[in-house]
Amino acid sequence: MSKIVVLDFGGQYKELIARRVRSLNVYSEVHPGRISADELKTMNPDGIILTGGPNSVYLPDSQTCDPGIFGLGVPVLGICYGMQLMVHTLGGKVAPGEVSEFGVVDCEFRGTNRKVLMSHGDRVFALPEGFRVLGSTKDCPIAACENVTAKLYAVQFHPEVTHTERGIEIIQDFLFNVCKITPDYYLDDVIDTLCEQIRGQVGGDRVLLGLSGGVDSSVVAALLSKAIPSQTLCVFVDHGLMRLNEGDQIESVFSKRDLEFARVNAETRFLSKLTGVTDPESKRKIIGEEFARVFEDVAKSRGNTEDYFLAQGTIYPDVIESGDSKTGGADVIKSHHNVGGLPKDLKFKGLVEPLRGLFKDEVRALGRKLGLPPELVERQPFPGPGLGIRVIGDITKDKLDVLRKADAIFRESIDGIPFEERPAQYFAVLTDLRAVGVTGDARSYGNVLALRAVYTDDFMTCRYVPLTHELLNGVSQRITNEIRSIGRVVYDITDKPPATLEWE
Catalytic sites, residue numbers: 80, 158, 160
Which phi and psi angles does 446 have, rounded to 5°?
A: -110, 170
Please, how many CA atoms are within 13 Å of residue 487, restricted to the half-sphere of its CB?
15
Is the Cβ–Cβ distance between 108 and 136 less than 8 Å? yes
For the stretch 412-418, contacts whose Cβ atoms lie closer than 8 Å and that sit 24 or more positions apart, written own/partner, are 413/471, 413/474, 413/475, 413/478, 414/453, 414/471
Angle between the 469-482 and 397-414 helix axes, to the nearest 10 degrees?
A: 150
Please, which residues bridge with residue 49 across strands? 6, 77
Which letter does DSSP use for residue 235 in this model?
Answer: E
Long-range contacts, 418-422 (Cβ 8 Å, 24+): 419/378
- Does residue 52 contact residue 11 with C-beta atoms inside 8 Å? yes
Pairing mode, if any, of strands 3-8 and 47-50?
A: parallel
Q: State how far Cα 178 lies from the chain centre.
A: 29
Listed in sequence order, the residues at least 6 apart from 119 whose beta carbon sits closer than 8 Å to its beta carbon are 52, 80, 101, 102, 103, 158, 497
